[in-house]
A and B are shown apart, each in its own frame.
Chain A
Amino acid sequence: MSTCRSIYAVAKRELVSYFDSPVAYVFIIIFLALNGFFTFMVSDFFARGQADLRPMFFWHPWLYLILVPAVGMRLWAEERRSGSMELLLTLPITAWQAIVAKFLAAWLFLALALALTFPMVITVCVLGDPDGGAIVSGYVGSLLLAGVYLAVSMAMSSLTRSQVVSFVCSVVVCLLLVLAGWPPVTGMFEKWAGRWLVDGVAAFSVMPHFEDMQRGVIDSRDVIYCASVIVFFLFFTAVVIRNRRRV
């Protein structure tokens, strides 16, 4: 049987199971509500007098910090707890196919939630004459950011059978990825840590890459950065799962 077909079957099951439980609806509603709240209330979207979506994307690294681990925490922890992992991994599919399928399903779900922010796009189009390129690159950046967080959450989820532990670890690791390159934090450390060290650590952060894309440029380096972080954490997951089976 072809690789694609088994990935498709597992991914479809995963995606359908989101919508079989209230998790999906709760997640989407909370995401849209918080997204609107931060954009309109906190960033004062209308008062800026500019037709772009930067006040919305600005909040995504922080919004995703809580919401993406909530989606990713169950990916393996739940399989482990309910024992269904034994079924999944004795099917004629490789662990890689299962990992990729689960990742794609969850990412697709996040993409769907993100796509539901489209009224924002309509609003700016009605109010002014926005830069279409910036909006597209903003969405691409946001989606890649969600992918990075999701890969981290999936890796943490493979380490434990407890969803709570998985959630907390994911939030912490994602937070590190963000803070390492966030100007207020880097500025603080520069005072005593030496510029090269701070820059070195910041190079691993997701923030500079995300901000680049918010400026309306999709640089191949930013995409490669996100892709390699995702691949790294998927690989990490594969190693954890393989070692669990060897014990």
Chain B
Amino acid sequence: MIKAEHLVKYFGPKLAVNDVSFTVGRGEVLGFLGPNGAGKSTSMRMITGFFAPSAGTVTIDGHDIVNDSIAAKACIGYLPENAPAYPEMTVQRFLNFMAAVRGLRGRAATEAVEKVIETCFLQSVRRQPIETLSKGFRHRTCFAQAILHDPPALVLDEPTDGLDPNQKHEMRNLIKRMGRSKAIILSTHILEEVDAVCSRVIIIDRGRLVFNGTPADLRGKSDLAGAVTARFLGQSANTVREAFRDQAAVARVVTISDEDGAAVLRFYPRGEAAGPPNLARLVAESAKSRGWLVDQLRTEEGALDAVFHALTASDTGAKEKEVAA
């Protein structure tokens, strides 16, 4: 549905986006991650036809965004960063206008506008000028505009920015629901959001693509992923460490805490055979054979923020250190 190939964008001599390629199909929600200034918004502006790429192509449903821009743009709903709108217009008039330019007329237009007002909870402010709205409502108005014409492709630049926790939750559910039939790209700084709604993740750092995969793949890059944390009652950490010293499946053991009566240790896996749930089983069985009591046992999923940090840390020295740690 959305296909970006070798996108490059220069602002004067400055390279903002450097050879970014990806595709998003219907039924996929793609999360765009990256530090501030990485080039997320710039990429989105190229995808929606606001900026012409310096090199590379974007096609939406087979239409080139530069050469066949009208057809391509008709397929997209776009929520720009900071949710701009016409400040002097009321919410209702703004949406009516958007419906008209999108080619909706008469009943179809009225119905579409009513529907998004309901979906985005704008009933209470429909006659209020947009410049007098609070940030969250302004954001929702602009989002309403993006989904007004039920587009097959959605490009959302920080869709949950400025929303309260309830609205964030609503928004995520809405995106997840729409993601079943549409191709959606969203950028965000909230890593949990990626987990909650995205089926795929892209990370860009200083204009370059540094990761493209599922949220689970991203987690898997963390060396915490697959490690097993266990709490042994009535044992000291040293006793436990001694017992696991020569296990082939255990790369190393780290003591998390060792207070009298209980020791918490983390076991890092070595090799394929130690993948989940084998390592956890191994730890449990070793404990059982020795008659130790284990009251907590957990296979770690890996922390997204650690991986994000490792992938986008600003100098390569720091990056290698992070990955090794």
B70 contacts which of A5, A16, A93, A247 (Cβ < 8 Å)? A93
Does A86 have its Cβ within 8 Å of any Cβ on chain B?
Answer: yes
- Considering only residues 73-106 of chain B, those with a C-beta below 8 Å from chain A are 73-74, 76, 78, 80, 82, 84-89, 93, 97-98, 100-103
Minimum CB–CB distance from B111 to chain A (whole Å) comes to 18
In angstroms, Cα B103 to Cα A194, docked, is: 57
Task: Say whether, besides A93-B70, A247-B11, A86 and B84 are in contact (CB < 8 Å).
Answer: yes
Task: Say whether, besides A82-B86, A246-B52, A90 and B78 are in contact (CB < 8 Å).
Answer: yes
Whether B52 pairs with A89 at a CB distance below 8 angstroms is no
Does B50 have its Cβ within 8 Å of any Cβ on chain A?
Answer: yes
Q: Which residues of B contact A50 (CB under 8 A)?
A: none
Whether B97 pairs with A83 at a CB distance below 8 angstroms is no
Name the residue of chain B whose CB is nearest to the CB of A244: B51
Binds B, one of A6-14, A39-47, A218-226: A6-14
In angstroms, Cα B142 to Cα A82, docked, is: 13
Whether B84 pairs with A82 at a CB distance below 8 angstroms is yes
Whether B88 pairs with A6 at a CB distance below 8 angstroms is no
Does B145 have its Cβ within 8 Å of any Cβ on chain A?
Answer: yes
Whether B70 pairs with A83 at a CB distance below 8 angstroms is no
Q: Which residues of B contact A9 (CB under 8 A)?
A: 97, 100-101
For chain B, the count of residues having a C-beta within 8 Å of the partner chain is 35
Q: Which residues of A contact B80 (CB under 8 A)?
A: 83, 86-87, 90
Q: Which residues of A contact B51 (CB under 8 A)?
A: 245-247
In angstroms, Cα B48 to Cα A85, docked, is: 13
Q: Which residues of A contact B73 (CB under 8 A)?
A: 90-92
A87 contacts which of B10, B52, B129, B145 (Cβ < 8 Å)? B145
In angstroms, Cα B86 to Cα A87, docked, is: 9
Q: Which residues of A contact B145 (CB under 8 A)?
A: 87
Whether B70 pairs with A89 at a CB distance below 8 angstroms is no
A16 contacts which of B52, B93, B142 (Cβ < 8 Å)? B93
Whether B82 pairs with A83 at a CB distance below 8 angstroms is yes
Q: Which residues of A contact B86 (CB under 8 A)?
A: 13, 17, 82, 84
Q: Which residues of B contact A245 (CB under 8 A)?
A: 50-52
Residues of B within 8 A of A (CB): 10-12, 45, 48-52, 54, 69-71, 73-74, 76, 78, 80, 82, 84-89, 93, 97-98, 100-103, 129, 142, 145
Other CB < 8 Å A-B pairs besides A83-B82, A83-B84, A246-B52, 17 of them?
Answer: A9-B100, A12-B100, A17-B88, A17-B89, A82-B84, A82-B87, A84-B84, A84-B86, A87-B85, A90-B49, A91-B98, A92-B101, A93-B70, A93-B101, A245-B51, A246-B51, A247-B12
Q: Can you pick out 26 interface pairs between chain A and chain B where the beta carbons lie within 8 Å of each other?
A: A5-B103, A12-B97, A13-B86, A13-B89, A13-B97, A17-B88, A20-B89, A20-B129, A82-B84, A82-B86, A82-B87, A83-B84, A84-B86, A87-B78, A89-B50, A90-B48, A90-B49, A90-B78, A90-B80, A91-B73, A91-B101, A92-B70, A92-B73, A94-B70, A247-B10, A247-B12
